[in-house]
């Protein structure tokens, strides 16, 4: 294989990872682990592949000696990394941790082999001035092994309370500062002056050695701070690391001042390194000023985007823009032609990407962030289009053309001004589109004022806090004609916002944040509320009261304005209008498997529950957007014995705060049952000390909405001496209060306690259409749990009689009771109660099971046992 073809194939692999990342940016809200995928397809996929390709290229060049195994073995390493990264991605998307483990091990193994290969190559090489730079790549590969190992642990292994939050900053540090940072700094030492066409100073050798020692030393210090739980030392490690980077950056600035180059490669590399320095400083500051590891882990989340896009992506496309013409070859003219192609609209592209990242980091509405991020990724992907054009152009014989500017020459001032103006215009247009999609969140007044007043020219500033589903104070008095600024602080442990009837809005606010809401001139009373799902219904409202003036009638209020986030309120017709319980589901419909397997062996049971949001059919032709544990409502059924320990890792991959409360455990709720925000996780450990079938559910307020929208499930703890039976089934009764088609539950309807559907295992009448199977003479145990949130249950099998009834931890009737011929006809349960019944079907036929609260049975809480002969 020719050198040119080799590099085309390898860089094509990088391009495929970039395209995959761009696709996920567009659809991340509709795929599992979308936020995780956006970051890891870029970093684990494209950037890591580029590091494996080009670090080996530079090692061969610096050492003047090929690596052991040559390109064939290099290709094996690249194939191994690609397979491992792909398996990790598949494991995260499917939630199947063994895939994450296998893929992570393969990625780590490739990193070890890469480091060993470079070490052997350097040991056998003749002395070379810049040969020691290869040690940057070796150290980076070691850092990747550590970073990947920490990532595997966080993805699945049950961790003691708080340990995940402690590990997360180290995971970021070893992957971003170690694997990517060490590689970039080790490369930029020579690549930067090469791109700028400047001389490498005599001091670079000493700078490179000093920087490597400091950077590795900093990583060791911060790693030790995590291992020994000494958080302030983490910031010291980052500081030491930064000092090392600083030596290289200062030398790079000197070289830039001596150069007149103005290419895309130089601008992109320079911008990327500046973002790297900024993000690393911010990383250290956030961890140093956090009150604990949990605060630090939550606080550094905003840095992942600029680290990944501002630093890693810009360095990647900048380096490739310079290196592709070199490896494509074809002679000086062909290389210049290729370079010019890759340099198209250079200043415009650089300006859009970096202005876009700045806007993204500002406290702008979420739709603005979405639109700007699309624009930034689109402009970054222009590189791939230009790269394809450049490759095609390199095969064409050059024809005489008009004189072009010398390669690398900065464009004339007029062109620079036009490019910058076009870039600013692009970002402004993106801002405008984002604001147009959600004008209320942007604070635009979409309603006419209720009364006209003469502005006083005075501004009144008031402080309002949000906590425990209340605004404090909830009435604000403002003189007529004054401008009002509300300094709003979220003192709660979950997200809130403030939307005012005149269109002013705070946007969604994370816990602990403060923002100023510019209300404008007050000419009437103005109602305000929190638009987060169900919060308004729970009383999270406030009023701006005008004092004085001709009129103080309330301004427009009521339904949220367009673009609001009040998911608990419904604006379209209810999907209840589409209920037809005589209609059968499609032939492809698969009912939830109600068969209950026996408890797993062992005394410790580890699970990961990922909160996911998605549209599900809940009755034929009726769809709702449900909040779920692991994509199903009810969530997974857990089973064990008295004395077993359950370790649950809750991962919030949704868009709102969520939590989990396991009734099967007895422990203080403060930490394990706390609400976690999107992107966060916690570990919930409990020991089952009592038997029964126990409810688990989301306990984030409003709890009724979270349960009604799908966040519940069952834990079965077998009573000691539980008799064996031929078959066991589990049925969880719940209710739907339907919003519009495809929307979430209607919070107002939930308060009426009059459900539209009552169902077993999440779908109306599903076991009528797909009956449960049993045989004559078999002993059948049916576990039943009433998840509520409101309605009781009275479980009954038509034509059957129970000889055993178990409710809330004890037997009401056991094998016919004291007389031996006693029987039961219904298992009565209130919400959050459960038990089981046992029976034997006497003859073949279809036995309907229902809740004997008949109006609820007629709303979908019914099914069939299809019993055949022995």
Fold identical between 459-547 and 604-868?
Answer: yes
- Spatial separation of the C-alpha atoms in residues 458 and 110, rounded to whole Å: 66
pLDDT beneath 70, residues of the chain: 1-3, 28-30, 32, 125-126, 156-161, 260-261, 329-331, 366, 393-414, 438-452, 533-534, 549-572
pLDDT of residue 835: 96
Q: Which CATH class is domain 604-868?
A: mainly beta
- Residue 658 assigned as binding residue: yes
Per residue, what are the HEC states of 29-50?
HHCCCHHHHHHHHHHHHHHHHH
Q: How far is CA 568 from CA 510, 748, 756, in A?
A: 19, 7, 16
For residue 671, the model assigns a pLDDT of 84
Asked whether the CA dihedral 551, 553, 554, 555 is positive or negative, the reply is: negative
CA distance 83 to 163: 30
Quickly list H helices, 709-770. Answer: 747-752, 766-769
Q: Is 698 annotated as a binding residue?
A: yes
pTM of the full structure: 0.62
Please tell me whether residue 466 adopts helix, strand or coil conformation: strand
Q: What is the pLDDT of residue 450?
A: 45
Fold for 459-547, please state it: Immunoglobulin-like (2.60.40)
- The annotation status of 535 as a binding-site residue, yes or no, is no
For 516-548, the DSSP string reads EEEEEE--SBEEEE--STTTTTTT-EEEEEEES
CA torsion sign for 64, 67, 69, 73 is: negative
**Is 852 labelled a binding residue?**
yes
Q: What ranges do the domains of the chain cover? A: 1-158, 459-547, 604-868
In DSSP terms, which residues pair with 462 in a beta bridge? Answer: 486
Please check whether residue 711 is in contact with residue 658, taking contact to mean a CB–CB distance below 8 angstroms: yes
């Amino acid at each position: 294989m020719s050198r040119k073809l080799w590099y085309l194939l390898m860089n094509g692999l990088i391009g495929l990872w970039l395209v995959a990342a761009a696709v996920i940016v567009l659809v991340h809200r509709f795929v599992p682990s979308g936020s995780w995928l956006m970051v890891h397809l870029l970093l684990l996929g494209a950037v890591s592949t580029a590091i494996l390709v080009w670090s080996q290229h530079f090692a061969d060049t610096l050492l003047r000696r090929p690596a052991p195994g040559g390109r064939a073995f290099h290709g094996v390493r690249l194939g191994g990394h690609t397979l491992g990264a792909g398996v990790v991605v598949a494991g995260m998307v499917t939630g199947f941790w063994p895939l994450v483990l296998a893929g992570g091990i393969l990625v780590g193994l490739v990193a070890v082999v890469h480091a060993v290969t470079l070490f052997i190559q350097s040991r056998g090489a003749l002395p070379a001035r810049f040969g020691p730079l290869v040690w940057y790549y070796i150290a980076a590969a070691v850092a990747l092994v550590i970073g990947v190992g920490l990532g595997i642990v966080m993805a699945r292994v049950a961790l003691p309370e708080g340990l995940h939050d402690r590990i997360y900053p180290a995971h970021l540090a070893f992957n971003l500062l170690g694997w990517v940072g060490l590689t970039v700094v080790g490369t930029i030492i020579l690549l930067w002056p090469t791109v700028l066409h400047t001389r490498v100073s005599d001091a670079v050798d000493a700078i490179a050695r000093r920087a490597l020692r400091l950077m590795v030393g900093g990583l060791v210090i911060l790693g030790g701070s995590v291992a020994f739980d000494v958080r302030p030392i983490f910031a010291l490690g980052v500081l030491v690391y930064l000092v090392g980077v600083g030596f290289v950056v200062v030398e790079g600035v000197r070289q830039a001042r001596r150069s007149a180059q103005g290419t895309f490669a130089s601008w992109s590399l320079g911008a990327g390194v500046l973002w790297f320095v900024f993000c690393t400083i911010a990383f250290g500051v956030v961890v140093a000023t956090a009150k604990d590891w949990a605060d630090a882990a939550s606080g550094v989340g905003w840095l992942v985007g600029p680290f990944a896009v501002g630093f890693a992506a810009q360095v990647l496309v900048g380096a490739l823009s310079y290196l592709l013409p070199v490896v494509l070859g074809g002679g000086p003219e062909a290389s210049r032609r290729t370079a010019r192609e890759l340099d198209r609209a250079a200043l415009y592209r650089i300006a859009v990407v970096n202005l876009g990242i700045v806007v993204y980091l500002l406290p702008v509405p979420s739709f603005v962030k979405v639109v700007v991020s699309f624009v930034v990724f689109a402009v970054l992907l222009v590189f791939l289009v230009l790269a394809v054009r450049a490759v095609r152009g390199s095969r064409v014989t050059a024809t005489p053309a008009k004189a072009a500017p010398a390669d690398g020459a900065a464009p004339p001032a007029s062109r620079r001004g036009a490019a910058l103006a076009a870039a600013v215009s692009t970002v402004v247009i993106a801002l405008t589109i984002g604001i147009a999609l959600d004008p209320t969140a942007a604070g635009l007044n979409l309603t006419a004022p209720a009364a006209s007043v003469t502005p006083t020219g005075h501004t009144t500033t008031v402080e309002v806090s949000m906590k425990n589903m209340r605004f404090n104070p909830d009435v604000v008095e403002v003189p007529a004609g004054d401008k009002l600024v509300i300094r709003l602080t979220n003192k709660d442990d979950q997200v809130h916002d403030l939307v005012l009837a005149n269109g002013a809005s705070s946007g969604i606010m994370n816990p602990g944040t403060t923002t100023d809401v510019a209300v404008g001139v007050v000419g009437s009373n103005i109602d305000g509320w929190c638009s987060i799902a169900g919060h308004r219904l729970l009383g999270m409202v406030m009023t701006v009261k005008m004092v004085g003036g001709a009129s103080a009638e309330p301004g427009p209020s009521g339904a949220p304005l367009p673009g609001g986030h009040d998911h608990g309120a419904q604006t379209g017709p209810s999907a209840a209008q589409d209920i037809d319980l005589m209609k059968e589901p499609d032939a492809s419909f698969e009912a939830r498997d109600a068969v209950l397997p026996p408890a797993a062996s062992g005394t410790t049971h580890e699970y990961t529950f990922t909160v996911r949001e998605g549209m599900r059919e809940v009755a034929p032709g009726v769809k709702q957007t449900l909040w779920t544990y692991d994509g199903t409502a009810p969530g997974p059924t857990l089973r064990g014995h008295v004395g077993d320990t359950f370790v649950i890792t809750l991962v919030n991959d949704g868009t709102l705060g969520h939590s989990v409360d396991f009734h099967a455990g007895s422990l203080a709720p403060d930490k394990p049952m706390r609400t976690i925000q999107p992107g966060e996780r916690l570990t919930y450990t409990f020991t089952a000390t009592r038997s029964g079938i126990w409810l688990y559910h989301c306990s984030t307020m409003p709890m009724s909405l979270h349960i009604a929208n799908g966040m519940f499930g069952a834990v079965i703890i077998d009573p000691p001496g539980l008799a064996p039976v031929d078959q066991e089934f589990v049925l969880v009764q719940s209710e739907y209060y339907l919003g519009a088609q495809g929307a979430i539950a209607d919070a107002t309807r939930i308060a009426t306690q009059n459900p539209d559907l009552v169902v077993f295992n999440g779908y109306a009448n599903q076991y009528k259409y797909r009956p449960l199977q049993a045989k004559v003479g078999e002993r059948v145990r049916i576990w039943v749990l009433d998840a509520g949130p409101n309605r009781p249950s009275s479980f009954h099998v038509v034509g059957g009689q129970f000889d055993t009834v178990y409710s809330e931890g004890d037997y009401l009737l056991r094998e016919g009771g004291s007389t031996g011929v006693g029987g039961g006809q219904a298992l009565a349960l209130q919400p959050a109660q459960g038990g089981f019944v046992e029976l034997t079907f006497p003859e073949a036929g279809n036995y309907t099971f229902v809740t004997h609260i008949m109006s609820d049975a007629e709303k979908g809480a019914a099914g069939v046992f299809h019993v055949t002969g022995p």
